[in-house]
Amino acid sequence: MPVIIVGADSPQGNELVAALRQDRSEVRAFITEPAAGDGLRALGAKVAIGDVTDASHVGGAALNAFSAVLLIEAATDDRERSFAGSIEEVLASWAEAVSEAGITRVILVAPPGLDTGALTTAAPEFVRVAPSGDVVAAVVAANEAASV
């Protein structure tokens, strides 16, 4: 089932693309930095370039994917974010994007205690993975689970 990774141009994103491509599943990598695209394409990912805070960009790239892996790092690192000035605004944009794209499962890589707002209910299934420990294994398990 197709999966999109928002923030795939981060170190953790690269690892996730490689791990999720192990079974040759369709992986879409949503990135901000065009230079990161070649490496992700070499891993077999379909690459979309845009602003991680633009719900229409993210939603368009995510259309008909089963799950969306959202890396909170993409909401807090030094990349350009034109449509949101805070983590809360980024999460609201992601909620709109996954809802409009028809995503079934949201896998948010974010610390416990972060208020996820509407993102929690934007898709039928929601799971949070802490950004410590074996994040890649936890995300792969959440993506492959029958339900979460």
Integer distance in angstroms from the first to the last C-alpha of the chain? 15
**Interatomic CA distance for residues 92 and 94, integer angstroms:** 5
Q: Which domain holds residue 72?
A: 3-144
What is the per-residue pLDDT for 7?
Answer: 95
Domain count, the chain: 1
CATH of the domain at 87: 3.40.50.720
Which residues make Cβ contacts (< 8 Å) with residue 57, sequence separation at least 6?
30, 48, 50, 51, 97
Instruction: State the pTM of this model.
Output: 0.95
Q: Do residues 5 and 44 lie in contact, with contact meaning Cβ atoms separated by under 8 Å? A: no
pLDDT category at 5 given cuts 50, 70, 90 is very high
pLDDT per residue as tens digits for the range 77-115: 776 777 778 899 999 999 999 999 999 999 999 999 999
